[in-house]
Copies of this chain bind each other. A is one copy, B any other.
Amino acid sequence: MKNERAILLLHCPDQQGILAKVTGFVNENSGNILYLDQHVDREEGIFYMRLEWDLATFSIPRDRIDEYFNTLFAKRYHLHYELYFSNQKPRMALFVSKMSHCLYDILARVSDGEWNVHISCIISNHTDLEPIAKRFGIPFYHHHVTKQNKHAEEKKEIEILKKHNVDFIVLARYMQILSEEFVSNYPNKVINIHHSFLPAFAGAKPYHAAHKRGVKIIGATSHYVTSDLDAGPIIMQDITQISHKDTVQNLVHKGRDLEKIVLSQAVYKHISHKVLVYNNRTVVFS
């Protein structure tokens, strides 16, 4: 049985000694640092850090760490931070449409115990994947969203998400555009997979567009959703080589493997608290 750990994600204006001060705080209170990674963006002058330490010997009680950190660092260093604990299981909602490959990939990982996450519910604008939800024993909600009822349906969806105490949302090939209003409720908390190497082929039918353009690689991009379509902060990208032999159907087929892996890797980074967003870009710690 592993000890509980505290995980701190932070960014602030870069300043001399900030790394030493933060690590010093943990050391002086008898915390054993298990993970430290940092990054300085020297152009923007921003310091980013992820710290993980064992709480077993830490002299500050778990429920007072936030208060301490806030008092000692937040204002003084204009420091934004997020504090997590290893025994908290993030609660995820999945939005799906008709394609099952990303959904299955995520369900398999969670069933397998590969990820420390709880799937609260699956929401869909179609009923095609309801049997899969049932098979894995996960609540499934069907919302037939149209242009006309979008506002009302999204309101209901947000209520469901609140009821389930959902921390973040994964769009597992969800073929609907969420409204700006919806997205504003979950800033950097909605992860999408787009089936192209963005910014190439944003929008609809990227494989058709890729085929038409005659590219020799196709890709997939996982990103946080913002109000700007397919333009949010990129978390992960990967590609595969194709050739003139590949029809659009082949691209769709080959793309599936990319999509599911690139999405799942982004979700894994997110639930591991290894992604920081700043200026529409991400720092993804290793």
Contact = CB atoms under 8 A, between A and B. Distances in A.
A136 B108 CA distance: 13
Contact of A234 (B213, B234, B236): B213
Q: How large is the interface on A (under 10, 10 to 19, 20 to 34, 35 or more residues)?
A: 35 or more
A184 interface: no
**How often does this chain occur in the complex, in copies?**
4
A177 interface: no
Interface stretch (A33-41, A71-79, A159-167, A186-194): A33-41
B243 A216 contact: no
A38 B24 CA distance: 16
Nearest to A257: B261
Given A233-B214, A237-B216, A239-B217, A114 B20 contact: no
Interface centre among A16, A48, A216 (most CB of B within 10 A): A216
B34 A27 contact: no
Interface of A: 16-17, 19-20, 23-24, 27, 32-34, 36, 38-43, 48, 100-101, 104-105, 107-109, 111-112, 114, 132, 135-136, 197-201, 213-217, 219, 233-239, 241, 243-245, 247, 253, 256-257, 261, 264-265, 280-284, 286
